[in-house]
Structure 1
Amino acid sequence: MARASMTDQAQVNELLLQALETERGGIQVYTAAIEAAQNEDLKEEWRKYLDETRRHEQILLDVFEQLGKDPEAASPGREVVAHHGRSLVKAIEMAMANADAAAAELVAAECVVLAETKDHQNWELIGRVAEKAGKQEGKILKAAHDEVEKEEDHHLYHTRGWARELWIQSLGLPAVLPPPEEERNVETAIGAARAEQSRDKMM
């Protein structure tokens, strides 16, 4: 017997549109952040994330095609997400123009964290939808979610660690760079918390 959908299809479509727009904004945010990065390890990390974000965009475009949805459809929520992305890019550009290099790098890290927080939530919600959707839709969404989830965890928790340590360094306090999240290859919220707790032992 086919599994019946238990989701609000209009809102699922809204989620997917916002997710696609988030990935597109993320490409622009990472492009700007790489320009602001001073630490070579961080710059290399963000180059990797940029490549992965481009792939995530394509994965979502494939989802739209498989579900017969229009990836360019407009929605109020999508417009807000696009605005957020442009604002984050503008913030990085302002910092690069008006602050010293270290401060601009820190702003870039915080902007990436903000972008990835939304991105991470999108994929978490897509995973939940996949569990409750009809059989075909659920299969398509689960395949996409399984391919992206670990990379999104990595993007968020690792950059959050970088932002924290760059702030600590800016305060004149001993920082752990690359951050513990990087050294421990963190991929979960629990792992991130444990990595942060271990930072004093790594100095």
Structure 2
Amino acid sequence: MASSKKSGYDAAGVQELLYQALETEIGGIEIYTHALKNVQNDDLRREWEEYLEQTRRHRQILLEVFRSLGLDPEVRTAGREVVAHLGASLVEAIDKARSDADPAAAQIVAGECVVLAETKDHANWELIGQLVKHGQGDAIDVLRHAHEQVEDEEDHHLYHSTGWTRELWIEALGMQAVLPPPEEVRDVETKIGAARAEQSRDRMM
């Protein structure tokens, strides 16, 4: 990997981010696999099945990044261990809800856990995007190729899952929900688009 003086980034920091990003995708596969067992809404099921397949592909894209940069994907850093612990805790929460709560409540818990996982996942790729924007060198070119393949899908995962979870909660509160959520109907892929979609929900009821 290029030196930080020439590239404008800290190589050790980049490696730590990549280890955490890989662990996030690994955990995401488990989270979606377990969350799908809690799903009651057929549209949401189809959405998460698609996200699961995309998350599996994101994991493979990162493994290709590791190979290109000469990194060992089995290395366990302290930060990676924390990410793994958080992912396992979310899986545990999803399973506990399925065994202890009614189906509608268990579906909401699954949604909340997906949003929490996707928040970290989205942050990882945003940071990789910052490296791509400001860094230089062969390693940055590798990251740029990966980022271009993943960025839009990660936006979709976070903003749409947030919308689904919000509307499921509104339904649970006895109010009129918009299902599928406005984020889904408008196919938003940006933070601004998600905000506008949420603002438009009252007109969609």
Give TM-score, length-normalised by structure 1. Answer: 0.97
SS in 2 for 1:4: helix
State the shift of 1:74 in Å.
1.1
Q: Is the 8 A contact 1:132 1:138 kept in 2?
A: no
> Between the two proteins, what is the percent identity of the paired residues?
63
State the shift of 1:94 in Å.
0.4
Q: What residue number does 1:15 align with?
A: 17
Structure 1: gaps spanning 5 or more residues: none
Match 1:31 to one of 30, 33, 42: 33
Q: Distance in 2 between matches of 1:126 and 1:177?
A: 33
Q: Distance in 2 between matches of 1:178 and 1:97?
A: 26
Q: Distance in 2 between matches of 1:122 and 1:103?
A: 29
Q: What residue number does 1:120 align with?
A: 122
Q: Is the 8 A contact 1:130 1:137 kept in 2?
A: no
| 2:147 aligned with 1:145 | yes
Q: Distance in 2 between matches of 1:131 and 1:39?
A: 39
Structure 2: gaps spanning 5 or more residues: none
Please identify runs of 4+ aligned residues in structure 1 that moved more than 6 A. none
Q: What residue number does 2:76 align with?
A: 74
RMSD of aligned Cα (Å): 0.9
Q: Distance in 1 between matches of 2:81 and 2:183?
A: 33
Q: Distance in 2 between matches of 1:77 and 1:129?
A: 19
State the shift of 1:45 in Å.
0.2
SS in 2 for 1:152: helix
CA shift digits 1:44-69 (9 cap, x unpaired): 10000000000000000000000111
Match 1:63 to one of 58, 65, 86: 65
Letter in 2 for 1:132: H
Q: What residue number does 2:196 align with?
A: 194
Match 1:185 to one of 181, 184, 187: 187
Q: Distance in 2 between matches of 1:158 and 1:12?
A: 28
